[in-house]
Amino acid sequence: MATYDQTLFFVGSYAASSRPGIHAYTFDSATGALAARCSFAGVTKPTFLVVHPNGRWLYAASETSPQNDNLPGSVWAFRFEREPWAIQPLNQQPAGGDVTCHLEIDATGRWVLVSNYGTGSVSVMPILPDGSLGALTDFWQHQGHSVDAQRQGGPHAHSASFVPGSRFVIVADLGLDELIVYRFDPATGKLGAHTHVDTRPGAGPRHIAFHPHHPMVYVGNEMDSTVGVYDIDVTQGTLHERQTLDTLPPGAPPNAVADIHVSPSGDRVYVSNRGHNSIAVFSVAADGQLAGRVTPSCGGKWPRNFALAPGGRFMLVANQHSDEVSVLPLLDGPQAIGAPVVQQTVEKPACVQFA
């Protein structure tokens, strides 16, 4: 069973650079209890975090722009240490765009994919032998718009994800209503144009998740509060839509979907609803399609990102507007998620990532 000394996780936030914005905790997977270990101040809006596969390095997207913060988007590298606990900055690099919102590391641990929401671009950075970041090895600027003049007047790359077991990357561009597929060369850190799939107009694709056993991709659509289900051919790098389902019950208030994850066993898909303040829980059929849905409370307000804890008993939710990380028990049966067992105060939390 995991203990405090074994299960480490980090929280990113919308904190100002003068405030602690990255926090480290340890987690008891038996009880859901948390213990604060250390924090770091000095980065403006370190909203999205990713932990290196070696378990020693941490990377943070600084979700800034010249218009709002007098700073372009950037990515920070850190190393973290135990006894004494510390998060130590290594360096930062320009992200190539603004409002940098998502990072992902490839399977080799050598490259970071960077998504810039504000300017609608995707870039690649190398991870150097000491864990620091090198200058961009590639940069792709998206072009175009979609049907919502206010939200989709230009491209807004919201996430870029490596397809497991392949050399493809899928970018969810909210501004274009497109899932853009690139080839990726892990020897050079270069992307290559491949293909794209249109989502439904006004859907606003944000984050994606892969089924652990089926060749299926689940797409959380922020703007119309739906989940799109796609078959994926990992050898050809192609997608085919199978389903689109609502994440909300009838009569729900205005809402924006945020994060999406699949359970390790592949029997559930979870989606966070900001506005309805719930987690939509879908059951997964034998063929990978989605069946029934329930929408239990997220334990707070404005559930941004969340994480399924090791051990399979709990979910940790970054409830941004109620300034807390909520630890929710995962339940068998129709209830799916229980009331919080822990509410950890964190200023404007945005992301939870386990090491």
Looking at residue 332, its pLDDT comes to: 94
Which of 247, 334, 250, 342 is closest to 299 using CA atoms? 342
Mean pLDDT of 316-336: 97
What pLDDT, on the 0 to 100 scale, is given for residue 2?
Answer: 37
Answer yes or no: CATH 2.130.10.10 is held by domain 42-354: yes
Structure-token match 């989606």, residue found: 271
Phi, psi torsion values for 177, nearest 5 degrees:
55, 50
Average pLDDT over residues 203-216: 97
Contact 161, 170 (CB under 8 A): yes
146-165 average pLDDT score: 97
DSSP state of 299: S
Query: What pLDDT is stored for residue 83 in this prediction?
Result: 85
Which H or E run includes 198?
A: strand 190-198
Could you give the 3-state DSSP secondary structure of residue 115?
strand
What is residue 5's predicted lDDT score, i.e. its pLDDT? Answer: 44
Nearest to 258 by CA among 294, 300, 302, 296: 302
H-helix or E-strand spanning residue 69: helix 66-69
> CA 154, CA 174: separation in Å to the nearest integer?
9
Instruction: Report the pLDDT value the prediction gives residue 4, as an integer from 0 to 100.
Output: 39
0.85 cut: is pTM over it?
A: yes
DSSP 337: B
Statement: residue 346 has pLDDT above 80? yes
pLDDT value, residue 136: 98
1 has pLDDT over 80 = no
Is 15 a residue whose pLDDT tops 80?
yes
Q: Averaged over 103-125, what is the pLDDT?
A: 98
Q: Which pLDDT score, from 0 to 100, does residue 3 have?
A: 39
Helix (H) or strand (E) holding 137: none
pLDDT of 231 > 80? The answer is yes
The chain-wide mean pLDDT, for the chain, equals 96
- Average the pLDDT over 191-204 and give the result: 98
The per-residue pLDDT for 103 is: 98
CA dist 197 and 104 (Å) reads 21
pLDDT of res. 26: 96
- pLDDT at residue number 148: 98
Q: What is the DSSP string of 21-58?
A: EEEEEEE-TTT--EEEEEEEE--S-EEEEEE-TTSSEE
User: 47 vs 4, which has greater pLDDT?
Assistant: 47
Summarised one tens digit per residue, pLDDT across range 132-143 is 999 999 999 999
Q: Where are the domains of the chain?
A: 42-354
* Whole-Å CA distances, 52 to 5, 111, 246: 18, 10, 34
pLDDT of residue 190: 98
**H helices within 123-257, ranges in order?**
none
Rounded CA-CA distance 118/268 in Å is: 32
d(CA 258, CA 289): 20
